[in-house]
Amino acid sequence: MAGQAEIPADVVALCDYERHAAERMPAPLRAYVDGAGADGLTAQANLAAWQAIRLQGRVLADLRGADTGLRLLGLDLPHPLILAPVAFHGLAHAEAEHATALGAAATGSLMVVSTQSGLPLEDIAARAQGPLWFQLYMQPERGDTLSLVRRAEAAGCRALVVSVDAPVNGLRNMEQRAGFRLPEGIRAVNLDGMRPPQIRSEPGRAATFLGLMDAAPRWEDIAWLKSQTRLPLLLKGIMSAHDAERAVAVGVDGVIVSNHGGRALDTLPATAEALPVVARQVAGRIPVLCDGGIRRGTDALKALALGASAVLVGRPQIHALAVGGAAGVAHMLTILRAELEVAMALTGRRDLAGIDETVLWGS
């Protein structure tokens, strides 16, 4: 693996990757990766909410043959830990998304490739050894959206994850203060040649209500998209019972409870708070996944206990990539899976189906 770095010996948990990455990444890049919307309250809440939930231990359970495997939208996965779609991996490592995909495959992990990958989705898929989903940002022109869908299908992606929570960028004050700019040579290549939203200009006005929202997807576009592809369709960014019900009604195959890692609308609740609300509404009709602040196997266990079928991790993959390239990503996922297994063992759960709210203290 070109450019592979030694993983420091004191990296034993995901927070260690974050610490080492912070030492290696210039301040503006750190502000981009670790920053969040406005005051960062939702991003902090994501972390704090998982930490605040207590587990209920169980002893002497029969855990012979215990296993973390699951079947999810037609895929057999050895564990429920997924790499969330994250833009521009080339910011963290020269091998960019290729390195992440290698780390994912080495650990049997599903990777969600972002619309905003810095490498063409076809190139990532051609070299990937493991399964991929494609995260889709719907484009102002249906023809452009459809072209992304056809490309993802042709590249062998196994599902489409439509991110619906960021039709306008969050107010990334931390990034702004740090003066983050995409370096020369890193851009959203998958969108080359596509028509951007047509923004009118008016002094003293932001783009949001001057064209950006006119081009933003609506529920009817999701119904249209569903009719255009046989790939399973998930909506990412569902944070309310209302939207969860509409998602089921429109016929999508899964939802992801996500507040974009706190990068979109600040002061949204933590995903640990929204997950049970969404899971109750969906009531098992389609899989519910969750991301935001998952940093420990215990966090993953708690999400599964609150109704998630699987969880996604965002920032930790960039930290691991910056520190150790593909090997770092594989190691990060290995740590998280090992932690999940310990947490399952000590709460007496032999498989994911056996994880329910009785895992949680006070249930």
Ligand X SMILES: Cc1cc2nc3c(=O)[nH]c(=O)nc-3n(C[C@H](O)[C@H](O)[C@H](O)COP(=O)(O)O)c2cc1C
How far is 290 from 25, CA to CA, in rounded Å?
27
Counting contacts by CB under 6 A, is residue 261 touching ligand X?
Answer: yes
Of the candidate spans 2-10, 80-88, 146-154, 213-221, the one that interacts with ligand X by CB under 6 A turns out to be 80-88
Cβ–Cβ under 8 Å, residues 296 and 311:
no
Would you say 80 and 254 are in contact if contact means Cβ atoms under 8 Å apart?
Answer: no
- The site map against ligand X for 27-46 (x = CB under 6 A) is -----xx------------x
Would you say 291 is a known binding-site residue? yes
Closest CA to 340 of 289, 295, 300, 311: 300
- Rounded to the nearest angstrom, the gap between the alpha carbon of residue 170 and the centroid of all alpha carbons in its chain is 16
Which listed range, 18-26, 122-130, 206-214, 312-320, lies at the site for ligand X (CB under 6 A)? 312-320
Q: Which residue of 294, 300, 321, 355 would you call a contact of ligand X, by CB under 6 A?
A: 294
The encoded tokens of residue 219 equal 């529920």
Per-position x/- string for 45-64, each x denoting binding to ligand X as judged by CB under 6 A, each - no binding: -x------------------
Among 118, 131, 170, 314, binds ligand X (CB under 6 A): 314
Q: Is 296 in the site for ligand X (CB under 6 A)?
A: no
Task: Find the Cα–Cα–Cα–Cα dihedral 217, 218, 223, 227, rounded to 10°.
Answer: -20
Residue 260 is among the residues annotated as catalytic for this protein: yes
Residue 236 marked in a binding site: yes
Query: Residue from 80, 85, 103, 167 that binds ligand X (CB under 6 A)?
Result: 85
- How do strand 75-77 and strand 70-72 relate by DSSP bridges? antiparallel
137 annotated binding-site participant: yes
The amino acid that residue 31 corresponds to is A
Report which of 196, 206, 265 is spatially closest to residue 237, judged by C-alpha positions.
265
- When asked if residue 217 is in the footprint of ligand X (CB under 6 A), the reply is no
Both tokens of 222, joined, read: 């999701």
Full DSSP string of 128-151: --S-EEEEEPPPSSHHHHHHHHHH
Give the residue ranges of the annotated binding site: 32, 85-87, 114, 135, 137, 172, 236, 258, 260, 263, 291-295, 314-315
Residues that are catalytic = 260
| Residues in contact with ligand X by the rule CB under 6 A | 32-33, 46, 84-87, 114, 116, 135, 163, 236, 258, 260-261, 263, 291-294, 313-315, 318
Residues that constitute the known binding site for FMN? 85-87, 114, 135, 236, 258, 291-295, 314-315
